Amino acid sequence: MPTDIHSHYPCSPPALEPMVEQLLDVRNDMLQKEAAHDGLAKVHPANLRSARNLVQYMAFRTHDVRELQLDMTEWGLSSLGRAERKVQATLDTVLHTMHLLTGKKWAPKELPPTCYRDARKQLEDNADRLLGNHPQGRRARIMVTMPSEVGSNFTLVKNLLLNGMNCARINCAHDDVRVWKKMVNNIRKAAEATGKPCKILMDLGGPKLRTGEVQPGPKVLKIRPQRNETGEVEAPALVWLHAPGTPIPAEKASVPSLPLDADWLSQCEEGDRIRLVDARGASRKLTICEATEQGCPASAEKTIYFVPGLELKLKRKGKKLKKPSTIIGEEMPSKEGGVLLKIGDLLVLTKQQVPGSNAHHDDTGKLAKPAHISISIPSILDDLRVGEPVWFDDGKIGGIIEKVKKGEAHVRITHARPIGDLLRAEKGINLPESDLNVAALSPEDLEDLKFVVQYADMVGLSFANHPADVESLVQYMKQLCKGGDIPAVVLKIETKTGFENLPNLLLAAMQSASCGVMIARGDLAIECGFGRLAEVQEQILWVCEAAHVPVIWATQVLEGMAKSGLPTRAEVTDAAMGQRAECIMLNKGEHIVAATKSLDEILLRMQDHQTKKRSLLRKLSIAERFFKLG
């Protein structure tokens, strides 16, 4: 190296020769690992260069080059922090410059699979193919989860498209083929009417592990007025009185309802009074607000507890009624039941499909029978091991497996509120450290696919954990399509196993011409731990960018705004950071059109400030795991 190079720099940089040697060692190891890897044979020809770059990136990330990064920046060289899309090209460019600085020649024979501009174009083309062309002035697309009402509300879909929606998601875990068909028809119709194309993603439900039924709660209905801070009534309590079996109008669905004798109810008129003594022995009265064929809304100025057996007396000034009173019958619905769990309690997960119930104690207070609840996939109890964690209801309740025996797993509760938490039916169960022998496609998914392959542009594979899951989905769709084009596969990464196997999952998905990844941050946060979520979602973005695979950033984006109309500051920041992905997904809510418009505005402002970001490149355990698994 010429002796005066260091002296011409404003600050004295570190020695260059050791840096060259270290980077050459990294490059050689990277190319050797790529040559030895056998995961490229089945990749679709259109994705081969991207797949090679992915393998190179994973090999590169088996090295910790943080010190080298800092040293290179002192020479004004690339820090390698943006190498994802074109790993070898980045390394070779830096090495070429380093050799020029040292006065040495360097002419490598191995050409990189992708270079700078074509790598960027490859990702953009893949995103266009999967998600549709990006809207004018905005790089990231907006996907919206469709509520069921989309099937009967064309205007809602139209307004979503006019306010920034580019893709529609239909969750096959809800509704049925009849409703899905109506939703698809309105989406296509709205896209044609507005001139705004809209890709459709249909999410398969997958083998969602949930709690089973629980014993119903007591038959009691409580209504209470809304009061201000001084106790004055601001809004009366409301109850919808109706005959058993009579449909409740949609606009009254949020009002507590009470079934009553039809003949007695038919006498009610606006302004009538109802007197009763409620379940606590308190004298109370209701006022009929309106009388309709469907039922009667009634208001009260005080809190009332209704239970079966209470007598209701109808009063009207100046008139004697044929049937002045009625008794609340057993038709009154029970409150939703739940199993109460506190820290230290024992919960038995059982294969027996019996309603869950609370623990029972004898007269001395000694535990006679622990709380128990069944699960939706009983066979997984055979896969559980002592010491593994269990989380329920989006992480609200947690425990450790203390004992496993035939047909049961005993869980000691370690996480709950001091007052306890109710574990209800149909709540999610996460087993982040358990090796579960569960197929990604349930029998229901296979049946749903018959519809999905006809109408969807993309199919979401829920709980994608192993390459065999992806290959099974692709093969089944090919059979259904009989040699025709199949929908693109979107891998939903929502488990710890799915994250750890992401590179191999991508290689399996890249056997088809088009694919994508959804970061399902809800389950992923529970599976990997909330403290690791930021790190995990960053790694998913890096790995997918290396594969030139588009990413959908999902779960709780502007959720507060979609539901209440007002976003939190944290939500706005999160939405802005999401624009590093190719698509951002919003969930349904009463204010979803306003949330879509706000997200569109946020993305338009932020994309001029940030696309992706530079990172420090410590070695990744996910990369080491990739090569250990072959």
Contact 524, 537 (CB under 8 A): yes
Non-local CB neighbours of 274 within 8 Å, separated by 6+ positions? 285, 286, 287, 288, 298, 312, 313, 314, 315
How far apart are alpha carbons 477 and 137 in whole angstroms? 35
Query: Is the domain of 582 the same as that of 599?
Result: yes
Tokens read off for 69: 């990064």
How many Å apart are CA 302 and CA 224, to the nearest integer? 6
What residue numbers bound the domain in which 248 lies?
221-327
Instruction: Confirm whether 215 is domain-assigned.
Output: no
Residue 216 lies in a domain: no
Note the pLDDT of residue 87: 97
Kindly state whether residue 411 falls inside one of the protein's structural domains: yes
Cα 47 from Cα 512, distance rounded (Å): 8
Give the CATH number of the domain where residue 529 resides: 3.20.20.60
Q: Are residues 183 and 80 in the same domain?
A: no
What CATH number is given to the structural domain containing 353?
2.40.33.10
In 3-state terms, what secondary structure has residue 450?
Answer: helix
Same domain, 111 and 165: no
In a domain, 239, yes or no: yes
Domain shared by 456 and 380, yes or no: no
pLDDT average per 10 residues of sequence, the chain (630 residues): 59 88 96 94 94 97 94 90 94 94 90 93 95 87 94 95 96 94 97 96 92 95 93 94 90 91 93 95 96 94 96 88 92 92 96 94 89 95 96 95 94 96 95 89 94 97 93 95 93 93 96 94 88 91 97 90 84 84 92 91 73 65 82
Q: What is the DSSP string of 464-498?
A: --SHHHHHHHHHHHHHHHTTS--PEEEEEE-SHHH
| Residue 391 β-bridge partners | 398, 430
Classify residue 266: in a domain, yes or no. Answer: yes
Question: Which residues lie below 8 Å from residue 11, measured CB to CB, with a gap of 6+?
Answer: 74
Q: Which of 538, 504, 518, 516 is nearest to 584 (CA)?
A: 518
Q: In terms of domains, do 481 and 454 share one? A: yes
At 429, the amino acid letter reads: I
Residues 316 and 344 grouped into a single domain: no
| Three-state secondary structure call for residue 315 | strand
DSSP assignment letter at 248: P
Where residue 627 falls (left for φ over 0; alpha for ψ -120 to 50; beta otherwise) is alpha
**Contact predicate 27/98, CB 8 Å:** no
**pLDDT digits 0-9 by tens, 282-340:** 999 999 999 999 999 999 999 999 999 999 999 988 788 889 999 999 999 999 999 99
Out of 365, 396, 430, a domain closes at 430
For 175: left if phi > 0, alpha if psi spans -120 to 50, otherwise beta; the answer is left
DSSP state of 261: -
DSSP string computed for 390-437: EEETTTTEEEEEEEEETTEEEEEEEE--TT-EEE-TT-BEE-TT----
Give the CA-trace dihedral at 35, 37, 42, 44, to 10 degrees: -60
Report yes or no: 313 and 324 within 8 Å, Cβ to Cβ.
yes
Same structural domain, 608 and 534: yes
Same structural domain for residues 170 and 301? Answer: no
CB 586 within 8 A of CB 596: yes
461 and 562 belong to one structural domain: yes
Task: Report yes or no on 178 lying in a domain.
Answer: yes
Residue 283: count of CB within 10 angstroms of its CB = 9
Q: What are the two backbone dihedrals, phi and then psi, of residue 187, each rounded to the nearest 5 degrees?
A: -65, -45
Tokens of 491: 């891998």
CATH number where 233 lies? 2.40.33
Answer yes or no: are the C-beta atoms of 560 and 566 closer than 8 Å.
yes
**Beta strand spans in 84-180 (E):** 141-145, 167-171
98: its two tokens: 């380093």
8 A C-beta contact, residue 309 and residue 328 = yes
Q: Which has the closest alpha carbon to 392: 408, 375, 404, 369?
A: 375
| Domains: count for the chain | 4
Instruction: Kindly state whether residues 291 and 358 are assigned to the same domain.
Output: no
Flag whether 333 is in a domain: no
The share of the chain scoring above pLDDT 90, in percent, equals 73
Residue type, 559: E
| Residue 214 counted as domain residue | no
Distance CA 619, CA 476 (A): 37
CB 467 within 8 A of CB 433: no
- Read off the tokens for 574: 């999160």
Tell me the C-alpha distance between 339 and 366, whole Å.
18
* Domain finish residue from 95, 122, 149: 122
Tokens 């410590």, located at residue: 618
Cα–Cα distances (Å) from 138 to 344, 576, 599, 616, in that order, read: 52, 13, 11, 28
Q: Which residue, of 277, 299, 327, is where some domain finishes?
A: 327
Query: Does one domain contain both 13 and 70?
Result: yes
For 458-499, write each residue's pLDDT tens digit.
Answer: 999 998 899 999 999 999 999 999 988 999 999 999 999 999
Residue 595 neighbours by CB under 8 Å, 6+ apart: 558, 561, 562, 567, 586, 589
State residue 296 phi and psi, 5-degree precision.
Answer: -130, 125
Same domain (yes/no): 151, 26: no
Q: What's the pLDDT score for residue 441?
A: 92
Residue length of the chain? 630
